[in-house]
């Protein structure tokens, strides 16, 4: 895979949950797992009717060099966009050259 294809900078984050021992309060926060170069490619987009009007959902494919430990429970942050990882797909040839991450846009509201 050519290096020029990986022209986007993304941050892969995992959800960390901490509990305050004194109050018992549980706090959830997204923490950096990896900062990597990636190819972010739009796959499709759809509009749908939401209760308060129309909304849209973008589907993208994020391709990165192989990195162990990436899980579907993580998210990809690309600029202002946040994407939920739907699957972690290794390359078909060796399984250790690159990873394809089909993602859907996280709608913040």
CATH of region 3-105: 2.40.10.270
Q: Over the stretch 24-39, which tens digit does the pLDDT of each residue have?
A: 899 999 999 999 999 9
The more confidently predicted of residues 51 and 94 is 94
Output the pLDDT for position 106: 84
Residue 66 pLDDT > 80, yes or no? Answer: yes
pLDDT digits (tens, 9 = 90+) for 75-101: 999 999 999 999 999 998 888 899 999
This model's pTM is above 0.85:
no
Residue 35 contacts residue 100 (beta carbons within 8 Å): no
Closest CA to 2 of 102, 106, 75, 98: 98
CA angle 93/69/42 to nearest 5° reads 65
Q: In the chain, what percentage of residues exceed pLDDT 70?
A: 83
């Amino acid at each position: 895979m050519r290096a020029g294809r990986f022209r986007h900078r993304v941050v892969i984050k995992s959800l960390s949950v901490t509990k305050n021992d004194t109050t018992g309060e549980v706090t959830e926060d997204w923490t950096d797992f990896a900062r990597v170069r990636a190819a972010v490619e739009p796959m499709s987009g759809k509009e749908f009717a939401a209760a308060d009007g129309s909304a849209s959902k973008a589907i993208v494919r994020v391709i990165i060099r192989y990195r162990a430990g990436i899980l579907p429970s993580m998210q990809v942050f690309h600029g202002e966009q946040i994407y939920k990882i739907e699957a972690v797909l290794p390359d078909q040839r060796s399984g250790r050259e690159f990873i394809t991450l089909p993602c859907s846009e996280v709608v913040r509201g």
